[in-house]
Structure 1
Amino acid sequence: MDTLTGLLDGPKARGAFVLRSVLSTPWALRIEDRAPLSLLTMLDGEAWILPDGGQPVLVRPGDLALLRGPEAYTVADDRGSEPDIVVGPGQICSRDGVSVATSMALGVRTWGETRPGDERPSVMLTGTYLAEHEIGRRLLAHLPTLLVRPAGVDTTEDTLVRLLATEVTRADPGQEVVLDRLLDLLVVGVLRGWLAAPEAPGWLRAQSDEVVGPALRLLHDDPARPWTVAALAAEVGVSRAGLARRFTALVGEPPMAYLANWRLAMAADLLRDPELTIAAVARRVGYGDAFALSTAFKRVRGITPQEHRRPAAPAGESAAGAALPGEPAQPARPGPATVVLAAG
């Protein structure tokens, strides 16, 4: 597993909130749902995304915008439009404190407000992730608050947008799973574009290095193996000192420190599975027994594996010590406010 695969495996929708909004001009929505990640695209018309404290961006049909929570933002037809509808936690929509979920329903997963005579209202498609994945959380911490990929960069993504727009209004059996997977594919496509851009964290470039890249893949593929720097160096065909020096320079920490962080990240995910005992998780990620894993988990994250297994924190709140491999075990520095990727 390469480094990016491990990170991109994080955003997995499970009953994501996918909605088609149909709105007559003027319109403006205030989003205060604190969701960890949302995707937005316009099917018809344009919209301004105005992050709190960030640079406003105009989104045109086919553009894909990723918004990282929990910060609030406004989406509107015009920068000057005042929002009169607030979307709160749980995707509860209200106007002046009164729910409009029923009064503004327009069909299957379709919502909005149109005015007589408006033959071409704005049509917006949104997908909201309601929960975080452990490894994905650390990637999200480095994302900009607003990341926009222009239309036409990838024809596959353009096709996926059309598919999602078609599927969102259907009520077939298993439809929720179909929507989740389409949303995942779109999000991963945008993230891949960002990871290849200069704005991405520098440590990610290490995965393309001719020495450090293979070493990272070995650690990701078999974290339970009793690795040493010497064994890892032998596998990639360099000296122990050479690997340690190059790995630390590019990744930001020594190989064994990276491995320890990666093992704990994997353990944190596996511990969410009630079918796995702590001892079983320990064996999968390279700890000799449950006690060894518990000791390391407590030291780095400040909580025991048993405490970690309790219901997850509300959306937008990060777990203690959720650091990416290659960074200190502390909350990551926030990403930049707004990034618009190159059109080609």
Structure 2
Amino acid sequence: MDALSGLLVGPRARSAFILRSVLSPPWSVRVQDQAPLSVVALARGTAWVIPDDGDAVRLLPGDIAIMRGPAPYTFADEPSTPVQVVIQPGPRRTTPTGEHLSEVVDLGPRTWGTGDPCKAAVMLIGKYQMSGEISHRLLSTLQPLIVVPHDAQPSSPLIGMLTEEVTKEEAGQQVVLDRLLDLLLVTTLRTWFARPEAEAPAWYRALADPVIGPTLRLLHKDPAHPWTVAALAARAGVSRSGLARRFTDLVGEPPMAYLTGWRLDTAADLLHEPDTTIAAVARQVGYASASALSTAFKRERGSSPQQYRRSREP
């Protein structure tokens, strides 16, 4: 597993909130549902995404926006259009003053709005509703708003497939939509991290280094191995002190501290699997026992693995 794959392996939508929004001008929707991560693909028309802290960005057909929660943001036909609909946790739709909104029309399966799909702006919206569906390490690398233009993306059928599937009501439909959302997120982030404005994390930039890149791949590929700085240096063909210094300079922390963080992040992701025991998680990430993992987990994250697992239950 390369380091980018290790970062992106975490997304696992589980009954994600996915819908098609059809809106005719003038329209403005404020989103304050506190979802940890949202993905919006503009399928038709134009729209503006307006973060509370930052500049508004215009979206064209095929553009994809990723919003990291829980900070609110607004989508509108124009930045100056007053907010008409507020998306609250649940999600539920209200007026700006909090009253239940009845004017917005349900237009079919997973479709709502106020316009003609042939003339209005059409957005495909997917939301990861639980923090456990997205790894902590992935979320921590993302800016609050990411926009990947259509012309920067490789040719992909995903938006077309999601457009077709979102309104279907067939056996297993939610699973199909969950996996399409995961694929759309992963492919968009892969494109984003390759862009110069992405401000990719230090460890990602360090992948290009001829010494630290292979070292990171070793740690990501096999976090359960009993790695030492000396063993890593021997594999890299450099001195122990040279590796430690170079790793810290490029990644921002020493090799063993990075490995501990990677092990615990991986453990946190694994703890969301309901049938996986804490002892099994410990073995997969390099701890000799459940108690050893619990000690490290509580020291770094402030709670035991069991407490963490309970706090993330739906």
TM-score computed with the length of structure 1 as normaliser: 0.84
Q: 1:275 maps to what in 2?
A: 275
Aligned to 2:163: 165
| 1:140-189 alpha-carbon deviations (Å, 9 max, x no partner) | 223121111111223433x2111111111111111111111211122112
Cα gap change, 1:201/1:234 in structure 2, threshold over 3 Å: closer, same or farther? Answer: same
The aligned amino acid for 1:177 is: V
* 1:134 Cα deviation from its structure 2 partner: 7.3
Q: What is the distance in 2 between the residues matched to 1:119 and 1:205?
A: 43
Report the Cα distance in structure 1 between the residues aligned to 2:239 and 2:46, rounded to whole angstroms: 56
Could you say what secondary structure the match of 1:124 adopts? strand
Give the aligned residue type for 2:141: H
Summarize the Cα distance change of 1:183–1:134 in structure 2 as closer, same or farther, 3 Å threshold: closer
Structure 2 unpaired stretches of 5+: none
Q: Identity rate of aligned residues, in percent?
A: 56
Say whether 1:240 aligns with 2:240. yes
Pair 1:228–1:250, CA change in 2 (3 A): same
- How many corresponding residue pairs? 311
The farther-off stretch of 51-60 and 129-138 is 129-138
* Consecutive unaligned residues in structure 1, runs of 5 or more: 315-344
Show the counterpart of 2:66: 66
Partner of 2:123: 124
Partner AA of 1:137 in structure 2: H
Contact 1:45/1:122 (8 A) holds in 2: yes
Please give the root-mean-square deviation of Cα atoms over the aligned residues, in Å.
2.1
CA–CA distance in 1 between the matches of 2:145 and 2:265? 25
More contact order relative to length (CA 8 Å, sep ≥ 6): 1
**1:238 is matched by which residue type in structure 2?**
V
Matched residue, 1:340? none
Distance in 1 between the 2:219 and 2:195 partners? 25
What is the CA–CA distance in structure 1 between the aligned matches of 2:280 and 2:41, rounded to whole Å? 42
Stretch deviating more after TM superposition (56-65 or 280-289):
280-289
Conserved 8 A contact 1:247-1:255: yes
The answer on whether the counterparts of 2:104 and 2:112 sit within 8 Å (CA) in structure 1 is: no
Moved more, 169-178 or 305-314: 305-314
Query: Residue type of the partner of 1:161?
Result: I
Alignment correspondent of 2:108: 107
Report how far residue 313 of structure 1 moved. Answer: 7.8
Q: CA deviation at 1:52?
A: 0.5
Structure 1 residue identity aligned to 2:193: L
CA distance in 1, matches of 2:310, 2:287: 22
| 8 Å contact kept, 1:24–1:121 | yes
- Contact 2:128–2:134 under 8 Å retained in 1: no
Q: Closer, same or farther in 2 for the Cα pair 1:134/1:64, shift >3 Å?
A: closer
**Letter in structure 2 aligned against 1:164:** L
Secondary structure of the structure 2 residue equivalent to 1:12: coil
Q: Which amino acid aligns with 2:205?
A: R
| 1:28 aligned residue | 28
Aligned pairs (5 A) from 1:151-300: 151-157=150-156, 159-198=157-196, 199-300=199-300
Change (3 A) 1:83 1:102: closer
SS in structure 2 at match of 1:61: coil
65-74 vs 131-140, which moves further: 131-140
Q: Indicate the larger mover: 27-36 or 136-145.
A: 136-145
The residue matched to 1:310 in structure 2 has which SS?
helix
Measure the CA separation in 2 of the matches of 1:274 and 1:124. Answer: 33
Counterpart code for 2:125: T
Distance 2:29 2:253 in 1: 43
Q: Secondary structure in 2 aligned to 1:275?
A: coil
Structure 2 vs 1, CA of residues 284 and 25 (structure 1 numbering), >3 Å: closer, same or farther?
Answer: same
Provide the secondary structure at the position in 2 that maps to 1:141.
Answer: helix
